[in-house]
Amino acid sequence: MRFHVLTIFPGMFDSPFAEGVVHRGIDAGLIELHVHDIRDYTHDRHRSTDDYTFGGGPGMLMKPEPLFEGVESIRAKHDTPENAPVILLTPQGERLKQPLVEKFAGEDDLILICGRYEGFDERVRENLATHEISIGDYVLNGGEAAAIVLVEAVARLVPGVVGSDESTRNDSFTTGVLQHPQYTRPADFRGMTVPKVLLSGDHARIEQWRRRASLRRTLQRRPDLLEDAELSREDREFLDSLKEEGHQ
Ligand code: ADE
């Protein structure tokens, strides 16, 4: 899978992917990350990527020409399919959630455009981007940190990037509910002990404890997720009993 990033700060992508899971994926040839400097697609002496807003007002906007040219150059150079997603990172976009991450992971190429300044010329939104994505309801200085988040979330779903399939299959959100609490050794750390059932070796009881702990945690922290989660009759009965007790 190939990620193509357009940014005025290409150096921001060096250290996040210099180590860790995505780096290994790149080394193994499972992922490619191509970072392109938007200024390379400017033609004026100052290599400007921003300009004033028609009609007046404070702040500058990303100019359309270098972004259109940048995307066209990526398409030509890397022979990307005409329908490869072109994603604008912007706080005005659709909130990034795991189902959309999974959809992006099914693509061969993603083109990401990082904004700066007050935003984009509207023609970029209407005629170049296929998606506008926000990573949350807060404002960053630009789209770079958001693009890094998107690349990491998508890259870890590319087969082979994360060690065993199991570890992405059980992720919170992928299963529709939050992950249950987990423990490693020692069983007693400064008097803080691991729930006995987990040391029992009784796999059926352990599974039931885990499922219930997941459901309890989801009800407490993210009850909204339960609306779309796949729940068995037993799950629903357990959740009803928790609600009766008042969320214990
Ligand atoms: N650019 C600035 N803020 C952002 C956000 N929250 N998500 C995506 N891109 C952004």
Mean pLDDT confidence for 35-62: 96
**Res 225: pLDDT:** 96
Whole-angstrom distance, CA of residue 68 vs CA of residue 239: 51
**Res 247: pLDDT:** 61
Q: Is residue 169 very low, low, confident or very high in pLDDT (cuts 50, 70, 90)?
A: confident
Q: What is the pTM of this model?
A: 0.94
* H-type alpha helices, the chain: 20-27, 64-78, 98-105, 122-127, 144-155, 165-169, 203-221, 233-245
Q: Is residue 174 very low, low, confident or very high in pLDDT (cuts 50, 70, 90)?
A: confident
Q: Is 171 an active-site residue?
A: yes
Mean pLDDT confidence for 42-64: 96
**Res 116: pLDDT:** 86
In tens, the pLDDT along 75-107 reads 999 999 999 999 999 999 999 999 999 999 999
**Res 24: pLDDT:** 97
Catalytic option among 16, 37, 66, 91: 91
pLDDT higher than threshold 80 for residue 163: yes
Residues with CB under 6 A from ligand 1: 89-91, 115, 134-136, 138-140, 142-143, 146
Catalytic option among 171, 181, 210, 235: 171
CB 143 within 8 A of CB 37: no
